[in-house]
């Protein structure tokens, strides 16, 4: 199981890497729009923050597959082959693009996934990852973790190597429910990661031990 941080902010990635808890970074167009720097600089900065040891996921936004391919190749030159993951919202045009990217040895994650059927097609095309949106599914469809359970059943029953990186997770509890439902990996906003790293009772215990300790 790997954790990814879902963030366009280099300081957040550096912090998470310092803690030793993340193996990669996911971004999306809305997150990248929150930072001032051009996307290629942001992506190469995120990769540097990962010490070039993990994947940085990028989602192209151009309107045609030809133009998306150009965006992806340009980003790949910035970040480096083997270090760029490509996120493509799961639809027919993007499945077609995924197939050609996979033939060129790109790492591909079909993203914004909301149904087990989409997962079956991502498996069929051979995508390494699917990124279902858990919290959005709970809000819009009813039960995000249950959807993850169904998706995992599809993957396992197809004997597929495709793995779930569950996204759109808003709390430590949701992260736990999602893992228990069968997600292989999680991508988490930094605030959720930070919340998972601490507990008020742990702080209390540290304080109590400090009071009780004797230097000898």
With binding defined as CB under 6 A, does residue 15 bind ligand E4P? Answer: no
Q: Under a CB-based contact definition with an 8 Å cutoff, are residues 5 and 13 in contact? A: yes
Query: Sign of the C-alpha dihedral, residues 42, 47, 48, 49?
Result: positive
Whether 14 and 49 have beta carbons less than 8 Å apart is answered as yes
CB of 57 to ligand E4P, least distance (A): 7
Minimum Å gap between C-beta 133 and ligand E4P is 5
Residue 149 interacts with ligand E4P (CB under 6 A)?
no
- 135 contributes a contact to ligand E4P by CB under 6 A: yes
Separation of alpha carbons 123 and 153, rounded Å: 12
Rounded distance, CA 85 to CA 117, Å? 22
Show the tokens assigned to 92: 């027919």
- Decide if residue 26 touches ligand E4P (CB under 6 A): yes
Does the active-site annotation cover 87?
yes
- Cα–Cα dist 162/89, whole Å: 16
Among 167, 181, 192, 193, binds ligand E4P (CB under 6 A): 167
* Residue selected from 178, 187, 192, 193 as contacting ligand E4P according to rule CB under 6 A: 187
Give the active site residue among 34, 41, 87, 96. 87
Point out the residues that are catalytic. Answer: 87
Binding site for ligand E4P (CB under 6 A): 6, 26, 28, 31, 131, 133, 135-136, 167-168, 187
């Amino acid at each position: 199981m790997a954790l990814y941080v879902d963030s366009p902010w280099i300081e957040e990635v550096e912090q998470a890497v310092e803690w030793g808890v993340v193996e990669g970074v996911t971004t999306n167009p809305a997150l990248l729009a929150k930072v001032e720097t051009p996307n290629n600089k942001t992506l190469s900065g995120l990769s540097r923050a990962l010490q070039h040891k993990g994947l940085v996921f990028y989602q192209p936004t151009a309107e045609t597959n030809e133009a998306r391919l150009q965006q992806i190749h340009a980003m790949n030159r910035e970040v480096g082959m083997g270090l760029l993951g490509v996120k493509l919202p799961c639809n027919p045009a993007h499945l077609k693009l995924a197939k050609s990217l996979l033939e060129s040895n790109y790492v591909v994650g079909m993203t914004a996934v909301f149904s087990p059927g989409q997962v079956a097609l991502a498996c069929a095309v051979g995508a390494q990852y699917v990124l279902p949106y858990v919290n959005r599914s709970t809000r819009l469809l009813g039960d995000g973790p249950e959807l993850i359970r169904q998706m995992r059943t599809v993957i396992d029953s197809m004997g597929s190597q495709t793995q779930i990186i569950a996204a759109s997770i808003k709390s430590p509890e949701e992260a736990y429910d999602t893992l228990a439902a069968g997600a292989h990996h999680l991508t988490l906003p930094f605030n959720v990661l930070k919340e998972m790293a601490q507990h008020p009772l742990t702080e209390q215990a540290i304080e109590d031990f400090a009071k009780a300790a004797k230097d000898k």
